Amino acid sequence: MDRLARFALSLALGTALVPAAFAAHAVVPYTEQSDFVVEGEPMAGCGDFVIIADGAGTTRTTTYFDKDGAPIRVAFHGRYNGTMTNSSTGYSITDAPSVANITFDLVNGTQTNIGAFFTVTVPGVGAVLMEAGRIVFDGGGPPIFIAGPHLPPGAQIAVLCEALRE
């Protein structure tokens, strides 16, 4: 086959494959973004007072699809800056920034949480609660992988209640 015939064949094959390549990538991810405000939201009870949350943040959720249009992964990114206040005394502590990156693998059924979910500081003391790192869930049970400082939810609330008792 001479050079011109090979070029013509390559051009014909390339032109035929271009629509197939675009069809395989035709389903683009879908993204939703929003801002939110938390005002005076009761967060947890500490016996003699309630923790009240106030703050603001942003979220972005992106859904990814396979070539047939079926969702295969959802990626969530959230950022929050706020305060937690003792409802009896008015004493407040800061939770900022809290950053969450959560991926739901819809094919394998896993959820991976990465970020600094709580970054709570007390004036003059420093960080009192740091929930950060990576946690992987496989289905509805307990985590299958944990990296970074993490406390169970009850222990988190106990730390916050203690920090808000001035």
Q: How confident is the model at residue 5 (pLDDT cuts 50, 70, 90)?
A: very low
Amino acid type, 126: G
Average pLDDT value for the chain = 85
Amino acid type, 18: V
Instruction: Using a pLDDT cut of 70, give the percent of the chain over it.
Output: 84
pLDDT at 9: 35
Strand 50-65 relative to strand 110-122: parallel, antiparallel, unpaired?
unpaired
pLDDT at 86: 97
| Residue 19 reports pLDDT greater than 80 | no
Q: For residues 96 and 59, what is the distance between their CA atoms, to the nearest angstrom?
A: 15
Candidates 118, 73, 74; CA nearest to 99 is: 118
Give residue-wise pLDDT tens across range 96-124.
999 999 999 999 999 999 999 889 988 88
Q: Is the peptide bond before 97 cis (omega within 30 degrees of 0)?
A: yes
pLDDT at 12: 39
Q: For residues 73 and 106, what is the distance between their CA atoms, to the nearest angstrom?
A: 5
Give residue-wise pLDDT tens across range 52-89.
999 999 999 999 999 999 999 999 999 999 999 999 99
pLDDT at 26: 55
Q: What is the pTM of this model?
A: 0.74
